[in-house]
Amino acid sequence: MGIIEKIKEIEAEMARTQKNKATEYHLGQLKAKIAKLRTQLLEPPKGSSGAGDGFEVTKYGHGRVALIGFPSVGKSTLLTMLTGTHSEAASYEFTTLTCIPGIIHYNDTKIQLLDLPGIIEGASEGKGRGRQVIAVSKSSDIVLMVLDASKSEGHRQILTRELEAVGLRLNKRPPQIYFKKKKTGGISFNSTIPLTHVDEKLCYQILHEYKIHNAEVLFREDATVDDLIDVIEGNRKYMKCIYVYNKIDVIGIDDVDKLARQPNSVVISCNLKAGFNLNLDRLLAKMWEEMGLVRVYTKPQGQQPDFSDPVDRGGCTVEDFCNHIHRSLVKDVKYVLVWGTSARHYPQHCGLSHLLQDEDVVQIVKKKEKEEGGRGRFKSHSNAPARISDREKKAPLKT
Ligand SMILES: Nc1nc2c(ncn2[C@@H]2O[C@H](COP(=O)(O)OP(=O)(O)OP(=O)(O)O)[C@@H](O)[C@H]2O)c(=O)[nH]1
Ligand SMILES: [K+]
Ligand SMILES: [Mg+2]
């Protein structure tokens, strides 16, 4: 029996089993069994170079966004609209057969947008090009789930299930469960709050299913069996997802309003021929926000900041910023001067652990430079940059 048949069999058994206190342990065990089989399913088949076979596209720019959706929801139309790169769009399903990259220029940064073939129910089990599409989505920073606003809401659930089946967790944070395998000592099970879904016995059973007999488990929230399995599997990917409802031109305004009010959702319409679109600027703004990119501009001493090429990354510390410029830079840094919203003074002297924010300007002061009396890359005389962030431009910078 193949892996997929085994999964189907267990799913059928779960559907037959009534949910109550007495069957709770058995159901938990079945869930763990399915999770193990799904993980096996993710291993690349023999003789292939990986799950992304034929779909690999070199990463480019400051971030990567994948377009996921059923066939003919308008993914290719959207790519062409946002990036200017032509991707064939047509009224028949499966027009797109491979991965097509385009570039969005937004807020001084470049974002790689990937158009992909439509996926269908069963994609996680290898139907259509499901496996490749999913592998590409896992390699991206966020996912845009493109939906046809005129079709059933069920599509969103089906796609979410398909992505969950391969270990993607959309708009969720990792469960607050500490888990560590040990060599000896048995299983220690603790929690910092009362638990309503999982007790010691259930936890033991799940661990037993994984043949884990020595481990430390600490629940820091009232997590479920599924959460525990996610933590044990350890291969889950937590991703932001924006639900993009396209084709709102063909539905009534009341329905548009309903969709637009859902969390993490943006409603749009793309009409390529008429060159007409609705709400794409809102989509770009939302995408930018969810990606959590941080623009940090470099400012050599005595010169204007370089606003053309920001150094990015969410949660960027001064150390990350230096590493991004050059690996060997960090050891030479004496301190940095920071202008922008993360700075309390103008400029603020900061160390390597300082957390930078979007549109900060950073000047690096190297150890050697001071010792050698200001020689080297940065000159010692000061100069104030003429342009700074939109927010900060009223306040001129001084070095
Ligand atoms: N009415 C309307 N039609 C749209 C909109 N966006 C796209 N379409 C049409 O929908 C059809 C499918 O568009 P595609 O861009 O090919 O869709 P896709 O998701 O890339 O399709 P596959 O590659 O086959 O998965 C085309 O006929 C488009 O012209 C929209 O906002 N409104
Ligand atoms: K199509
Ligand atoms: Mg397409």
Q: Specify the range with the lowest mean pLDDT, choosing from 8-12, 59-63, 186-190.
A: 59-63
The arithmetic mean of pLDDT across residues 309-323, rounded, is: 80
End-to-end CA distance of the chain: 71
DSSP 46-97: TT-S-TTTT------SSEEEEEEESTTSSHHHHHHHHH-------SSS----
Most confident listed range (11-25, 252-266, 290-304, 315-329):
252-266
Rounded average pLDDT over 14-28: 91
Nearest to 180 by CA among 215, 209, 210: 215
Spacing, Cα 75 to ligand 3 middle (Å): 5
Check whether 115 has a pLDDT greater than 60. yes
CA distance 286 to 280: 10
Place of tokens 């944070």: 173
Predicted confidence (pLDDT) at residue 332 exceeds the cutoff of 50: yes
Checking if the pLDDT of 377 tops 70, the result is: no
Average pLDDT over residues 250-272: 94
**CA quadruple 369, 372, 375, 379: dihedral sign:** positive
Contact 340, 321 (CB under 8 A): no
pLDDT at 49: 55
CA atoms within 13 A on the CB side of 55: 26
Nearest CA to ligand 1 atom 10: 74
- Phi/psi at 171 (5° precision): 55, 35
Of the given ranges (51-60, 227-236, 287-296, 369-378), which has the lowest mean pLDDT? 369-378
Domains of the chain: 3-43+175-233 (no CATH), 63-170+237-289 (3.40.50.300), 296-371 (3.10.20.30)
Whether residue 264 has pLDDT greater than 50: yes
Q: Give the residue carrying structure tokens 């430390």.
A: 216
Residue 253: is it exposed, middle or buried by C-beta count within 10 angstroms (0-12/13-18/19+)? exposed
Q: Is the CB of 75 under 6 A from ligand 1?
A: yes
Q: Which of 44-48, 117-121, 134-138, 228-232: highest mean pLDDT?
A: 228-232
pLDDT over threshold 70, residue 105: yes
Pair of tokens at residue 257? 């309003």
CB atoms near residue 357 (< 10 Å): 15
Most confident of 42-46, 64-68, 108-112, 338-342: 64-68
Provide the pLDDT for residue 320: 87
pLDDT greater than 80 at residue 312: no
pLDDT confidence of residue 306: 85
Please tell me the least confidently modeled range out of 267-271, 318-322, 382-386. Answer: 382-386
Closest by CA to 71, choosing from 115, 136, 112, is 115
Per-residue model confidence (pLDDT) at position 369: 60
Q: How far is the CA of 88 from the centre of ligand 1 (A)?
A: 10
> Quick one: which atom of ligand 1 is closest to the CA of 88?
16
Confidence of residue 45 (pLDDT cuts 50, 70, 90): low
Do strands 109-115 and 63-69 pair parallel, antiparallel, or not at all (unpaired)? Answer: parallel
Q: What is the mean pLDDT of the segment spanning 216-227?
A: 97
Cα 176 from Cα 368, distance rounded (Å): 45
CA proximity to 258, closest of 111, 149, 102: 149
CA–CA distance, 99 with 54 (Å, rounded to integer): 9
Indicate which residue's Cα is closest to atom 13 of ligand 1. 74
Q: Which two tokens stand for residue 76?
A: 């290719």
Nearest-atom index, ligand 1, CA of 93: 24
The angle subtended at Cα 48 by Cα 43 and Cα 53, nearest 5°, is: 90
Helix 75-83 and helix 280-291, axial crossing angle in degrees, nearest 10: 90
> What is the per-residue pLDDT for 376?
40
- CB burial of residue 27 (10 Å; 0-12, 13-18, 19+): middle
Q: Which tokens belong to 394?
A: 């009223």
Q: Is the CB of 90 under 6 A from ligand 1?
A: yes
Q: What is the pLDDT of residue 41?
A: 82
pLDDT given at position 48: 60
| Ligand 2 centroid, distance to 160 Cα (angstroms) | 21
What's the rounded mean pLDDT across residues 272-279? 83
pLDDT score at 395: 44
User: CB–CB of 119/141 below 8 Å?
Assistant: no
* Residue 203 neighbours by CB under 8 Å, 6+ apart: 187, 189, 217, 228
Structure-block tokens of residue 145? 């789930």
Q: How many CA atoms lie within 13 A of 15 on its CB side?
A: 6
- Check whether 52 has a pLDDT greater than 70: no
CB-side neighbour CA atoms (13 Å) of 13: 15
Alpha-carbon distance of 191 to 241, in angstroms, equals 31
* pLDDT value at 378 more than 80: no
Tokens describing residue 101: 């990259």
How far does the centroid of ligand 2 lie from the alpha carbon of residue 75, in Å?
A: 8
pLDDT in tens, 71-94: 999 999 999 999 999 999 999 999
Band of residue 250 on the pLDDT scale cut at 50, 70, 90: very high
% of the chain beyond a pLDDT of 90: 64
| Best probe residue, ligand 1, of 72, 114, 267 (max atoms within 8 Å of C-beta) | 72
Q: Is the CB of 73 under 6 A from ligand 1?
A: yes
Best residue among 77, 96, 146 to mutate for probing ligand 1's pocket (most ligand atoms within 8 Å of CB) is 77
In sequence order, the β-bridge partners of residue 103 are 112
Considering only CA atoms, which of 114, 116, 124 is closest in space to residue 35? Answer: 124
